[in-house]
Chain A
Amino acid sequence: MSKHIVFLVISFVLLMSLQVLVFRNFVFLQVGFPFIYLLFLLSFPVDSGFTTAMVFGLICAIIVDLFYQTLGIHASAAVFIMFIRPTWMKIVVPRSGYESNELSTIGSYGISWFLGYAAPLIFAYCCIVFFVEAGSAQFFWHTITKALVSSVITLVFVVFTQYLFYPKSN
């Protein structure tokens, strides 16, 4: 964690402002919402504590909530994925195993591991956000389409951002 603290702070500021100022204004195909700030939460090292991760998730998501005018919805989804993240990471172990103090990004463990790790978490996040926001299962197929398309778009942006701006493996 300490090794990457500067990098994490910079990526927090940049990704949050990107999310709030730029990506909030884009809706792809009328159903795809990119949540690029999830990259910050997903890139936490494997040995960062439960509580730290959840509190960071809460803080980021509440900032996003304030701008999306959906107070609490993104927050609950982010806290949930930060809670299941360590358990999920134990299931999808990369071939070489985890290294302590290493960011969980493509640069550290490779693209195939990252996709398997990030895609279900992002999908869980989108499902919670859209189902809580809709408030009912009345438009089940519409909501699930929203969640699916948004997760794919979020994943694409999250992967490309890493290829463009994140440090390569050492």
Chain B
Amino acid sequence: MKSMRLALALCASASLSVAHAQAPADYPADYAAVIAAARQEGKVRIYAATDTAAASPLIKDFEALYPGVKVEYSDMNTTELYNRVISEKAAGGTSGDVFWSSSMDLQIKLVNDGFALTYKSPEVAKLPEWAVWRNEGYGTTYEPIVFIYNKRLLKPEEVPQSHAELAKMLAANPERFKGKLTSYDIEKSGVGFLLITQDAKLNPAFWDLAKAIGAASPRFQSSSGTMMERIGSGENLLGFNIIGSYALLRAKKDPGIGIVMPKDYTLVMSRIMFIAKTAQNSNAAKLWLDYILSKRGQTIIANQSELGSIRADVEGDLTAHGLAKALGSALKPIQVGPGLLTYLDQAKRLEFIKQWQQTAALRK
């Protein structure tokens, strides 16, 4: 199945690359000028907190679609990206043209602080309303936040199907899960902090859950890779607040890992992309953004990058469309907007981390 899809995509890109100069049919008439200017610029520099592995099919397809526009892709972690954007802007030297990160709050902070170029993508009508802010910050992926568990050690009927069940299970068997629970270290991981604060905002019983988690002496990690590794090995039994796209990719390689999308609510995060206000290759940057949001780009995101498509008109399991069928209103996308600034507030952040440590952190 997978190989056939790939072949089809290659086929499509091959046929399209012939007609490379053509702007998509429903794009504005002057889009050809943007393409021409982008070709003059010759490249687009992307700073991203997304694995090169996930991005490379997109880069290949983009370069095939717009020959003459090369993608310079720099992969870094979210905090590094944020700091680099700010320091390079302050220094006034060369910087990235497009910034793409899973740390939604930091991205929004950059947009709010005036780092983004206002550009209304022709694809904007195809995106959900919550995914676009100011025509500057665009949500580009659709990634559910899931539980993962060790299939061998946890019986199917034991696996919690919701946050409430997780809290109940932990409270019922504190000894069994002692030291077997894992999640992000919210002090070290920006994404972990973002997700846990969204939980706190969304779930009225959050602090009860936190207490139950705390009672199980959880093991917090700064990266999802370590968490999945330990669950695969059986060192940990269950992990929560795992990014679904990573989990799915892992589960494909490691059949011992099971995935649950919580039925009460499943957070959905979306990698935010924006064009730098001071972009040197702003036309190429526009092409890239539009490509990522286009049906063609989103099809690759869903089927090759495994990041989940945000477009309703892209079919597949890992798309907004497919997930909505399975989970309905339990899907809670994190809104791309100024609300994300709340937990970036210095005082708020310290206050929250303090409370979280006191309630949920490891007790000796």
A and B: bona fide binding partners: no
Contact surface of B with A, Cβ cutoff 8 Å: none
Contact surface of A with B, Cβ cutoff 8 Å: none
